Amino acid sequence: MQLGEILDGSFSIYRRHFGLFMRLSLVLICTPAVVGVYFATRALSNPIGAANWVQEHVAATIGFGLLVLFVWILISLLLKAGTIRIISDSYLGNEPSLGAALQFGTARIMPLLLVAICKTLLIFVLYIAMAIAVAVMGVIGRLLGVGALFLFLGVIGALWLFAYVLCGYGLTSMVVVLEDLVSAFDAFGRSDQLTRDSRLKVFFTWLVIVIFTNILPSIVVFGISALVGPESPVQPFLSLGTIVLGVVLAPILPCALTLLYYDLRVRREAFDLEILSERLGTR
């Protein structure tokens, strides 16, 4: 499958099962989102009181923030796993269901969580290492009288390495959900093996989907927000609309990456889809 075919297939699956994707999102995200909007609205209605409360309860604020972050990560992983199940059933010609998606996601939440934590730590270490490398390049460049050139080359090299590594591990969630692994950490090596010589394809798939589902909607919302002004009563609804829009468009990226995963397996391993169907328990 070429990039255009992957994108076309992703949007086709998304349109075909839009209602099911939304039901899955509502089941997982509705309550936390409503609670978050409630507290955000209260804080905006009395910002001084909210700031004073935070200053007086720093430990409680940090603990609550960490709890919210953990719950949101779990929900995001469940949504991703359920989405992958829906896409897989559709790809195999089976009828996906909400119950199967939720059950499938719940059964794989722990390995998904471990992989997500490891990937976050990897991104943090890469960021620190790249910052140090760019700073060293800048110092060397200044000593040689070409500081701007060395700094530019350092930034370009760091961004390339960052993208290369993350694209290599871009299919870890699909591997965890769809394959039998001895350990969840084997997903990193497996994803690296599948994406070898296909990193650009992974990168452009991710880039195009992010532009359509994140960047363009954010520009539209930001433009409307700037037009109505910060004091407009519409602003809280724009914040709510941003959350809703994110939920609505969230399944598209897993759609594209899952189709890319299948394409790489079939291309590299002549993978038999009947095996995957048995793995999912649909045959």
pLDDT per residue of the chain (283 residues) written in tens, 0 to 9: 677 888 888 888 888 888 888 888 777 776 666 676 666 666 666 677 767 766 777 777 787 777 777 877 888 888 888 888 888 888 777 788 888 888 888 888 888 889 988 988 998 999 999 899 888 888 888 888 877 888 888 889 888 998 999 999 989 988 888 888 888 889 999 999 999 888 999 999 989 988 888 888 888 877 877 777 767 676 666 766 777 777 788 888 888 888 888 888 887 776 655 555 555 554 4
* Helix or strand holding residue 228 (H, E): helix 216-228
CA 175/CA 280 separation, integer angstroms: 13
What was the pLDDT predicted at 53?
67
Assigned token pair, 186: 């084997």
Q: What residue type is assigned to position 34 of the chain? A: V
Q: Report the 10 Å Cβ neighbour count for 261.
A: 27
Sign of the alpha-carbon dihedral angle for 62, 68, 71, 77: negative
Question: Could you tell me the pTM of the whole model?
Answer: 0.76
Assigned token pair, 97: 């269901």
CA 136/CA 148 separation, integer angstroms: 12
43 Cβ partners below 8 Å, 6+ apart? Answer: 50
CA 218/CA 195 separation, integer angstroms: 30
CA 101/CA 161 separation, integer angstroms: 35
CA 244/CA 153 separation, integer angstroms: 40
Q: Give 200-243 as a DSSP string.
A: HHHHHHHHHHHIIIIIHHHHHHHHHHHHH-TT-TTHHHHHHHHH
Tell me which residue of 249, 251, 264 sits closest to 87, measured CA to CA: 251
Report how many helices (DSSP H) and strands (DSSP E) the chain contains, helices first.
14, 0
Q: How far is CA 283 from CA 1, 55, 100, 179, 274, in A?
A: 25, 57, 14, 16, 8
What was the pLDDT predicted at 283?
47
CA 138/CA 126 separation, integer angstroms: 18
Assigned token pair, 180: 């039998």
- Burial class of residue 221 in the structure, from the number of CB atoms within 10 Å of its CB (0-12 exposed, 13-18 middle, 19+ buried): middle
